[in-house]
């Protein structure tokens, strides 16, 4: 019996891609973690560095949550801020921008006071519940104790509902039901967005840049170049065979937008869609 011919091919492996093994709990704590590969130099392994520190790109954008609407003082703050004169003379869009900026500043003050008061109420409710539990061990609760117990549980329940509502809005899950309290799922969705949104660095002229100020500068230069006209004089296209629209159709394209069209487009959006950098959504 003839022995089969066996051919061996030797392949030199240049490097090995090392990895970090993490789970979902890791991303719940560090959603913006970053992995950086460094030079291999003489080793056949590719050293990697796990970074969990956050890059400071400046203050975070302001955002309004739906849970604020029924809070005491929200409506009055909005009405008071919009009724004041921004003190700016100019085009209507500039006046609206300044008025929204003033409204944002007033809502920030109201939000900080509301959260501070809510934190104090939660601390008092937890303290009252501890006292009630100690009282239950020695005697029967009185009518006043039962009222304190009910009110404390009510405060804790309202806070949990607020957190669930805010978490559902931050996750931007469009098909989420109003009665769905799968906070773990929404929390994972928020962390997924946090891990994909950050810009850890940019390749600028062959060099890796990770400093936030330099990254913002390069991003600004990139988008500014998109609004620069490269052609000083564009050639005109002359072709008599091209079909053209005439009459009312041409006038319709050149006409300005009316108030009804703008209102219909804005009010056609969902309440939680298209949050802008100023914190106000449609």
Range with the poorest average pLDDT among 10-14, 79-83, 189-193, 239-243: 10-14
Token pair, residue 83, equals: 């009724």
Distance CA 49, CA 92 (A): 52
Antiparallel, parallel or unpaired: β 16-17 and 34-37: unpaired
Nearest-angstrom CA–CA distance, 260 and 255: 14
Spell out the domain ranges in the chain. Answer: 11-58, 65-198, 205-229
pLDDT tens column, 51-95: 776 666 666 677 788 888 888 899 999 888 888 877 777 788 788
Give the number of other Cβ atoms within 10 Å of residue 37's Cβ: 12
Which of 177 and 124 is assigned the larger pLDDT? 124
How far is residue 130 from each of residues 31, 134, 181, 218, measured CA to CA in Å? 34, 6, 26, 55
- Residue corresponding to tokens 């004089």: 233
Q: In this predicted model, what pLDDT tens digit does every residue of 222-244 receive, in sequence order?
A: 888 888 877 777 777 777 777 87
Alpha helices in the chain (DSSP H): 24-29, 74-83, 92-136, 143-171, 183-196, 212-226, 248-254, 259-267
Question: How many residues make up the chain in this entry?
Answer: 282
- Say what the pLDDT of residue 183 is: 61
Whole-number Å distance between alpha carbons of 93 and 264: 19
Task: Look at residue 210 and tell me whether its pLDDT is greater than 70.
Answer: yes
CA distance 132 to 150: 11
Cα separation, 244 vs 271, in Å, equals 40
pLDDT of 39 strictly over 70: no
pTM: 0.56
- Residue 57's SS3 state is coil
pLDDT recorded at residue 11: 47
Percent of the chain clearing pLDDT 90 (strictly above): 2
Do 266 and 282 form a contact (C-beta atoms < 8 A)? yes
Residue 144 binned pLDDT confidence (cut-offs 50, 70, 90):
confident
């Amino acid at each position: 019996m003839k022995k089969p011919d066996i051919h061996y091919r030797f392949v030199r492996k240049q490097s090995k891609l090392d990895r970090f093994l993490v789970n979902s709990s890791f991303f719940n704590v560090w959603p913006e973690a970053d992995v950086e590969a460094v030079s291999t130099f003489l080793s056949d392994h590719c050293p990697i560095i796990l970074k969990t520190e956050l890059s400071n790109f400046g203050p975070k954008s302001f955002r309004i949550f739906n849970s604020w609407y029924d809070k005491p003082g929200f409506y009055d703050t909005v009405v008071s801020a919009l009724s004041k004169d921004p003190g700016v003379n100019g085009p209507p869009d500039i006046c609206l921008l300044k008025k929204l900026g003033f409204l944002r500043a007033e809502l920030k003050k109201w939000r900080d006071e509301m959260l501070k008061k809510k934190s104090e109420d939660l601390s008092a409710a937890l303290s009252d519940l501890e006292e009630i539990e100690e009282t239950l061990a020695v005697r029967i609760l009185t009518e006043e104790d039962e009222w304190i117990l009910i009110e404390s549980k009510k405060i804790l329940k309202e806070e949990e509902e607020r957190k669930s509502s805010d978490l559902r809005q931050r996750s931007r899950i469009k098909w989420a039901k109003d009665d769905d309290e799968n906070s773990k799922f929404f929390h994972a969705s928020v962390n997924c967005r946090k891990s994909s949104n950050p810009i850890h660095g940019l390749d600028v002229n062959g060099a890796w840049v990770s400093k936030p100020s330099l990254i913002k500068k390069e991003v600004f230069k990139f988008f500014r170049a998109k609004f620069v006209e490269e052609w000083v004089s564009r050639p005109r296209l002359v072709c008599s065979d091209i079909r053209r629209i005439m009459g009312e159709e041409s006038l319709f394209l050149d006409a300005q937008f009316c108030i009804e069209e703008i209102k219909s487009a804005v009010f056609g959006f969902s309440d939680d869609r298209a949050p802008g950098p100023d914190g106000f959504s449609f």
